[in-house]
A = this chain, B = another copy of it.
Amino acid sequence: MIDSRTLRIALLGAGNVGSQVARLLIENRTELAARAGADLELVGIAVRDVDAKRDVELPRELLTTDADSLIVGADIVIELMGGIEPARSYILKAVESGADVVTGNKALLAAHGSELLEATEQVGAEISYEASVAAAIPILRPLRDSLAGDNIRRVLAIVNGSTNFILDRMDQNGDSMADASQLARELGYLEADPTLDVEGWDAAQKATILARLAFHTSIDTERVYREGITGVTAEQIEAAKSAGYVIKLLAVAERLTAEDGTEGVSARVYPALVPREHPLASVHGGNNAVFVDAEAAGPLMFYGAGAGGLQTASAILGDVVSAARRHVAGGPGLVGSSHAALPLLSIDDVITKYQINLLVEDRPGVLAELAGIFESLGVSVQTVEQFVAEEEGLATLIVGTHSAREKALRATVEALREAKATARIVSVLRVEGAQ
């Protein structure tokens, strides 16, 4: 299906990922042409400063500060500037002028995904964004295409490499949160301002994108329930380890029926206990993995590098070649649908298990008193472990619950906190991925 056509590629941004994309488009031009069925000509690279120093040397004549002129006349526009504006306006301009768009901009997609997808669909173009979640790991196309005939029940994802690196160091090397974070900064895993990563904002954006594709539903990323990793302590990691768990920051998207019967989806981010034998438990360092549970397919996992300029460039180029093939074939683009329009349910409705670690008075009758609290709130206890605490007159109690609604679990923790027998709630963590 090779023809003599040339497709004009415009690149916006030449940072870590952009410069690798430019290099690969130039170096592999012949091979990419054979795969795409058309020559892919990089016609220009829009940058803020033409003279800025870059890791990869780029042809000087391709660099321009005039993104607007570059976009007009391009067949495929690759947006790698990041941030909301001017990226959003440039993408809309590209789509209006009939170009296909490839982007890795998760913040923009999470905040304005519906607007961009609708604008794209209206003109019959296509917007692809495989690089926006889990870098090089093919996960968005598989969700959109390969699993298009299945019903996805749940997605559990490690999609933030920085926090996985930190938690993995704490788990594998016994580092404190401070030491692990310092190392992450030194190795370039953490930005100068780590808030987006450690507070779970980045993972929440990715949960939004995953939920859209998995459940054909557009959700508001601001309303994704979110807890970061800043409260995770070395003691919790140790306790998790001895109980057969590992703590992972998970982005969860799942189909859910609320207590009142409403069918909806839950999207949430929090550090959770994952059983050691679960495939997600062996995702180490800065790697990412997306675990998908589908009705027919059963459990699936997609694993690989979650960051890196070169790795992310792989996903961008996959989207570029796919867009080019569509251009050669003709016909309008495919846009992930949000026809299901399911409501985003509250964290209160989520069904999960709690692992509660508390200090209690070391005297007869305490266990019965606390067990009564669980019972009265309708939360069923699965495991109890009790041992003498270091503090005089106190015992440590570790209670694992059966699955229950978050609302009841939270009420239980509050009641435990108020109970006469309780000295202190040490830690409360949710369990994901257990039977």
A residues sitting closer than 8 Å to B (CB atoms) are 1-2, 20, 24, 28, 31-32, 34-37, 121, 130, 136-138, 141-142, 145-151, 216, 279, 282, 294, 296-305, 308, 310-311, 313-322, 325-326, 329-335, 337, 339-340
B138 x A296 contact (CB < 8 A): no
- Contact assessment for B138 and A146 in the assembled complex, using a CB-CB cutoff below 8 Å: yes
Q: A138: which B residues are within 8 A, CB to CB?
A: 138, 142, 145-147, 300
Write out the residue numbers on chain B whose beta carbons fall within 8 Å of the beta carbon of A321: 145, 148-149
Q: What are 8 contact pairs spanning A and B, CB under 8 A? A: A34-B340, A35-B148, A36-B148, A136-B150, A141-B146, A145-B321, A326-B331, A330-B332
Copies of this chain in the oligomer: 2
> Complex: how many Å from CA A294 to CA B35?
16
- Cβ-neighbour of A296 out of B147, B294, B301, B317 (below 8 A): B317
Determine whether the beta carbon of B145 is less than 8 Å from that of A141: yes
- With a CB–CB cut-off of 8 A, which chain B residues contact A35? 148-149, 216, 337, 339
Contact in complex: B1, A335 (CB < 8 Å): yes
Question: Contacts A136-B297, A302-B302 given; 20 further ones with Cβ under 8 A?
Answer: A1-B335, A2-B339, A24-B296, A34-B216, A35-B337, A35-B339, A36-B148, A141-B141, A146-B318, A148-B322, A148-B325, A149-B316, A150-B317, A296-B310, A296-B313, A297-B305, A297-B314, A299-B304, A329-B333, A330-B331
- Chain B residues with CB under 8 A of A294: 136, 314
* A168 CB, nearest partner CB in chain B, Å: 14
Question: Nearest-CB distance from A248 to chain B (Å)?
Answer: 16
List the B side residues contacting A318 at CB < 8 Å.
Answer: 145-150
* A151 neighbours in B (Cβ, 8 Å): 28, 31
For the complex, what is the distance from the CA of A313 to the CA of B302, rounded to whole Å? Answer: 20
